[in-house]
Amino acid sequence: MPETESKIKLICFDVDGTLVDGISWLFLTRGLGCSSEEHIGIFNRAKCGEITFAEGERMLTRMYRDSGNATRVFIENLFARVRPRPEAKQLVSYLKKKGYLVYLISGAIDIYVRAIAKRLGADGYFANSSFDFDKSGVLEKIHYRDNQGEVKVEQLKQLIKARGIRMNEVVFVGDSENDIEIFEATKKGIAVSWASDNLKEVAWKIINSLGEIKKFL
C-alpha cells in the first residue's frame, strides 16, 4: 500500500488541458462562429494591462452576441458535445470506488464545467467564470476572474472546510500556471507531462497519462 493512501481523501482536477484536450473558451468561440484570433487578442490585451478585464469581458460579449448564436440553449448544446480524454471517466470511477471524493476546480465557464462534472460522475465542481443571460436566453454578460490561481486556492479552502478535510489530504491534478498556487498549497500537485515547465517545478509527481495517477493512490 502506498505511503500516502491512508492520508489522501480528496482528488481535485483542473479541466481544460487536463481532463479535456483543448481550451473551452476557444471551443466556444469557434462553435459560435467567431474569430479565435480576435478572442486571443482581447485576452492578451487585458492580460498585459492595455485594457481592463472588465473591458475585455464587454468586448467578448459583443463579439459573441454579434454571432447570432449566443443563446443559453446553443451554448449548452455546444458544451454537451465536448468529450473528456478517453481515460478520464474510467479514472474518476476508479477513484470513487477507492473511496476518494472527486471534484473539478476550473477557471472555465460554469455551464461547461458542470457538463464535464456530470459526464464524469464527479462529486462536485467549482468554476471561476460564468455567463448571465437575459429573459430571452441571450448572452448578456460574461464574468471572468483574472486571478485564477488565488481563486482556486480559496475555493479549495471552502471545500475542505465543508468536508472536514485537511489541506495535506488533497491531491490536485493540473496542467497550467494557474495551478501553481494550489500545487504549493496542497504540496501534492500532480502535473501532466504536457504541463508548463513552471508548474512541473512545484509538482509532487509528473505523469504521462491520467491513468498513471492510480500508481500513487
One digit per residue, pLDDT tens: the chain, 217 residues?
344 444 899 999 999 999 999 999 999 999 999 999 999 999 999 989 999 989 999 999 999 999 999 999 999 999 999 999 999 999 999 999 999 999 999 999 999 999 999 999 999 999 999 999 999 999 999 998 778 899 999 999 999 999 999 999 999 999 999 999 999 999 999 999 999 899 999 999 999 999 999 988 8
| Extents of the domains making up the chain | 10-22+84-216
Q: Which residues contact 7 (CB under 8 A, 6 or more apart)?
A: 168, 169
Place of cell 497519462: 209
What kind and span of H or E run contains 205? strand 205-207
What CATH number labels 10-22+84-216? 3.40.50.1000
What kind and span of H or E run contains 72? helix 72-80
pTM value is 0.91
| CB-CB contact of 207 with 193 (8 Å) | yes
